[in-house]
With several copies, the nearest count.
Chain A
Amino acid sequence: MALLLPAGLGLLFLVLPLVGLLARAPWSTLPQRLTEPAVLAALRLSVQSATLATVLCLALGVPLAWLLARVQFPGRRLVRALVTVPLVLPPVVGGVALLLVFGRRGLVGSWLDATFGITLPFTTTAVVLAEAFVAMPFLIIAVEGALRGADTRYEEAAATLGAGRWTTFTHVTLPLVAPGVAAGAVLCWARALGEFGATITFAGNYPGRTQTMPVAVYLALETDLEAAIVLSLILLTVSVVILASLRDRWISG
């Protein structure tokens, strides 16, 4: 089979480095790591904030994807291009940009501070925002692709039955593109979970509050390569287990 060879090669390319990590990991230290409260706190924070960031991305990104896929408006090309900005921006610069806007001295941040007394940076909210900023394009582009691939005639049929745009969207379009949305959400969640540069810049590195696993890995790298590998493998295992259980349910559902 002409398709199996490249597929196998691709899989090998993705899996071999993991094998390398597994071979190098100091397994004896694993139990001790797993009981360290700081590691557990970082793990919990990572999963929680990645999930919240995904929810935020779904709430804002799916409508934006719909706008790009279904509504003709002037400047659509520009908007579509702007959506890809956080993809290309080095995450650390993304973090700086977020500071420039939402920081205490920032465009929006100073107003938030003066009006509501809210400061975002260095809070768990900041972690969620940083992750959402970096991960949202993945969701938008995946969902837009799915929307373009979907047959718009079902939406016409819904309109003839009296469904407005909103109902058509929630009752017909979304269920039809559910696999695409699920794929986008997976990408988004995984990207948020692995996010490091923007998070440490915008939210800082406070254990229990803003120290996610990737940030902990970064710090561990400063002192101990093996420790960093073990932490990465813990993060990896957790995410793979969550994704494997979720995705198969979503896809078959």
Chain B
Amino acid sequence: GDDSSDQPAGGDGVSGQLTVFAAASLTESFTRIGQDFEAAQGVKVIFNFAGSSALATQINEGAPADVFASAAPANMDTVLDAGNGDGEPVTFARNQLVIAVPKGNPDGVTSLSDLTKPDAKVALCAEQVPCGAAAGKALDAAGVALTPVTLERDVKAALAKVRLGEVDAALVYRTDARAATTDVDGIEFPESAEAINDYPIVVLKDAANKAAARAFLEYVRSDTGRNVLTTAGFQVP
């Protein structure tokens, strides 16, 4: 293996290497933040991006990690319930639903109720995943009963169905719609305020490099970090 051992110390008394387990939907933002952090602090950051639930399982089975950034509070709770968190998690980002429609909005969708037309094909996320839970809440708030053709396993899959033209609309996160502006338009709707998804982050109990872990947490919530996240479409508290 070419895994680097202790790096020369730099910055504010933090050094070495840092392992961050982060939700796959954070791949782009966290990669950018990680690079900035490395440059600023001289700490080598290693990411393990995967689904939040898989990460939670890995952590609970003893994976060597310092920080866990989850895409949903539920998976964070799994880790905390097993006693693997060090302190309280903080919410560093929020995501809001939009209606993704093909570029140019051919069906003229403007609200959730437009999705209930009989021949409209709609993709939602499954209720087990955060975007599905959020969609359920939003639909309840709007008082709209909707029968989707599919309950996708994650928001990217739902978005892909729109991009490939298989469905006429899908409820996805604003960040995802923004990343795909070449193919889709994101239509904001008021009820999405009722269904906001929080991204919590925490330092782990078995962290080998707690100093660097805390520094990373702070860096994510610093202006630099917030900037990256906002650009990607997240709301930051």
Contact = CB atoms under 8 A, between A and B. Distances in A.
Interface of A: 92, 95-96, 99-100, 103-106, 109, 119, 121-124, 200-201, 204-211, 215, 218-223, 225
A69 to B, nearest CB: 37
Given A100-B164, A200-B50, A205-B150, A222 B24 contact: yes
Contacts of B164: 96, 99-100, 103, 105
Interface of B: 1-3, 24-25, 27-28, 46-51, 53-54, 57-58, 61-64, 74-75, 78, 121, 123, 126, 128-129, 148-153, 156-157, 160-161, 163-166, 179
Contact of A206 (B51, B57, B151): B151
Pick the most buried of A96, A106, A223: most chain B CB atoms within 10 A of its CB: A223
Contacts of A106: 61
A158 B24 CA distance: 58
Contacts of A206: 46, 48, 148-151
B61 A100 contact: yes
B38 to A, nearest CB: 14
A92 to B, nearest CB: 7
7 contacts: A100-B164, A104-B63, A121-B166, A122-B149, A205-B153, A209-B3, A222-B156
Nearest to A41: B2
Pick the most buried of B54, B74, B75, B121: most chain A CB atoms within 10 A of its CB: B54
Q: DSSP class of B's interface residues: helix, strand, loop or mixed?
A: mixed
Given A96-B57, A121-B63, A219-B129, A204 B50 contact: yes
A205 B61 contact: no
B53 A221 contact: yes
A201 B63 contact: no
B153 A105 contact: no
